[in-house]
Structure 1
């Protein structure tokens, strides 16, 4: 079996394991698979157990007794519900592999494993300098994973986040921050034909608020507010006694957060329909990670190593959140998108470019070795 065939076999097994963020048993199955694989490379696991989400897994070399310099970060959860892999199983067509989570980010599980396998076979002592962290809830803003990520990142020379590279092969050096909120309006129910004047429509009140929320968006400042889901009412002939909206916000700088949160609270507190009341709950779940000087230096190192193996790697920003935001906020050089090339993330069209599996394995291998060189200092 060729190396690419081995990679595709491992990828197929992982993709066929459903592991949506709220599917604890599915995520833990993936975790068990990865533990067994990395145990063969001398890594031992520390399992951080969770009740609601999948368990987080930290892998270290069994013989290491010093602080590793590199943290490799990956997540095991996907956005796809239980049963998706049965309906849409792993398949390869024209150099593209398809299936739920194939690029985001089970392909990265494969490239990480094979890069470290090569080191295990050629220079095993270097593995003492590497920690590998698999988290279980990245796709929902890391409610249980963030503190673990921050704890493990402290003191590291560099963090390499194994999210997939973009369609053109670019890595991510900047991500916007964001948050999730739920705004709920309580009204007064009444029959819409017999006595509508006795009611207070929560749906009507929420409509005013949705318009106001969307007006908070400012493309120039990199702020975007989106009401993506609304619910409310009980029957078409009844004045609605409740309505609620799920709100997603994106921002470019963390100093924008407090002003934006205050504006959302102000909208909640302003009443247009007498008899209604409004509450809002939520938080900033992802910090914006700046393109710092240290990260720029790490990116230049990645680009240099890519060119040495015949790959051109550009840089880009992303409006989506990632665990990279938390390590970058700590001032640690962080590059996101170090995984294989893919596109169509979070959709039925998601795919991974098969030829990029070996290319990105080699790139990761070389970047690790270069970062660990004594002459490389990020400042």
Structure 2
């Protein structure tokens, strides 16, 4: 078990260590970029204090007051920088809402994406910001993604202080339902999509695969599906006869195995039947994600329900998978029938040449700061995220610019604080270059 260091003077100690461990080699950078790095380092303790403050506010998705409190804390920071802020009420989609902050009317239009909510409910035992050692801090949502939110604010604060912010046109959207989207998506994602339609570039501040040497140019989309299969109930002694047929369980087994045979290993498609129940009767509870079944071993099963998910890297892959799955379901065994439905979900963020070009710009920034090149994340290692709703509307997009660490979505979530200032440096310099030189 990791022993926590004493809290006395921990902020001063930690910030000093982080500045020393994240000092870049500036031999290939100009004076302005040196000033950007210096300003960020000089205000690192302020940034960490904001991170601690907001990590200590529980903002589980359904804790609406907590989500709003985190939004209010960040809104104050934006307003001090001269941003116009707007709280988008979420009552129409049963969520707290979203924070939108806007600045400027010149230069490239850049959308910066964060989120306010976490997976940790109000009554969860994992609630507080706790230093683990000299360079690691544990906390609910510290990497996913309050660290990324603070990186956004800190980079913009530096550009504002150095009179560099007026060369870019910024819109920040921090959603309140990334971890559990409100429904319908047409309402819950409207603020994000509207901002994407306005923007030229989208930058996401999730922690991606937790490796500071990578960023995301593509994310697989994620949607849920449900399969309902019906058979002819009868005494089990009559199964396989022309009068009774095969029953719902055998038909379900045929369908799922055919899904595997036809789609496993095709492109970047993966699918998973995560929950199944069958028998004479099946009941579902969507709120608790539970299935209950009743049946007897000597009765041919009448009903089976399967709940699953599917992930694809492009809309073409998704449409292909849907078509194949529907064809398999329609080819029913005797006296059975199936119904396959797909829910709304996260669209894929397909890899594009422009996304790779933006990654190259970001990698050039990293190398010039002495941090080395940035490689693309394997899409299999990057889950769905809010940037997926924006990527299809902008000219170019990348994600994974946030605070790195490990253990996201678990009580072992720990941030690697050596990446905190590094990704502030990279973000601020990238924004500066975009404003100075435009889209390459």
TM-score category (smaller protein): 0.7 to 0.9
How many angstroms apart in 2 are the aligned matches of 1:273 and 1:11?
60
Q: Answer whether contact 1:171 1:313 (CA < 8 A) is retained.
A: no
- Pairing 1:154–2:174 present: no
- Pairing 1:102–2:162 present: no
- Pairing 1:230–2:276 present: yes
Q: 1:297 to 1:277 in 2, by over 3 A?
A: closer
1:253-332 alignment runs, 5 A limit: 253-272=314-333, 274=335, 277-283=338-344, 285-292=346-353, 294-317=354-377, 318-319=379-380, 320-332=383-395
Give 1:42's aligned residue. Answer: 82
- Pairing 1:53–2:112 present: no
Give 2:220's aligned residue. Answer: 176
1:125-274 alignment runs, 5 A limit: 125-126=165-166, 129-140=169-180, 143=185, 144-164=187-207, 166-169=209-212, 170-186=214-230, 202-232=248-278, 233=282, 234-235=293-294, 237=296, 241-272=302-333, 274=335
Q: Answer whether contact 2:168 2:435 (CA < 8 A) is retained.
A: no
1:337 deviation in Å? 0.8
How many angstroms apart in 1 are the aligned matches of 2:73 and 2:112?
18
Alignment equivalent of 1:356, drawn from 391, 398, 419: 419
1:15-30 alignment runs, 5 A limit: 15-30=55-70
How many angstroms apart in 2 are the aligned matches of 1:346 and 1:265?
33
Q: Answer whether contact 1:15 1:102 (CA < 8 A) is retained.
A: yes
- Structure 2: segments with no counterpart, 5+ residues: 1-11, 16-42, 283-292
What TM-score, normalized by structure 1, do the two folds share?
A: 0.85
Structure 2 counterpart SS, 1:311:
coil
Structure 2 counterpart SS, 1:138:
coil
Give 1:337's aligned residue. Answer: 400
1:123 deviation in Å? 1.4
How many angstroms apart in 1 are the aligned matches of 2:65 and 2:330?
41
Deviations 1:331-368 (A, max 9, x none): 52111111122233323333211121111111111111
Deviations 1:102-149 (A, max 9, x none): 111111111112112222322165286211111123334672443332
Structure 2 counterpart SS, 1:178:
strand
Q: Answer whether contact 2:315 2:347 (CA < 8 A) is retained.
A: no
Q: Answer whether contact 2:86 2:101 (CA < 8 A) is retained.
A: yes
Q: Answer whether contact 2:90 2:188 (CA < 8 A) is retained.
A: no
1:65 deviation in Å? 5.2
Q: 1:13 to 1:208 in 2, by over 3 A?
A: farther
- Structure 1: segments with no counterpart, 5+ residues: none
Say what the alpha-carbon RMSD is for the aligned residues: 3.2
1:371 deviation in Å? 0.8
Structure 1 counterpart SS, 2:216:
strand
Q: 1:362 to 1:25 in 2, by over 3 A?
A: same
How many angstroms apart in 2 are the aligned matches of 1:286 and 1:20?
23
How many angstroms apart in 2 are the aligned matches of 1:163 and 1:341?
9
Structure 2 counterpart SS, 1:154:
helix
1:297 deviation in Å? 2.3
Structure 1 counterpart SS, 2:263:
coil
What TM-score, normalized by structure 2, do the two folds share?
A: 0.74
Structure 1 counterpart SS, 2:179:
helix
Q: 1:190 to 1:126 in 2, by over 3 A?
A: farther
Give 2:159's aligned residue. Answer: 119
Q: Which has the larger radius of gyration?
A: 2
Q: Answer whether contact 2:51 2:146 (CA < 8 A) is retained.
A: yes
Alignment equivalent of 2:435, drawn from 352, 368, 372: 372
* Count of residues in Structure 1 that have an aligned counterpart in Structure 2: 373
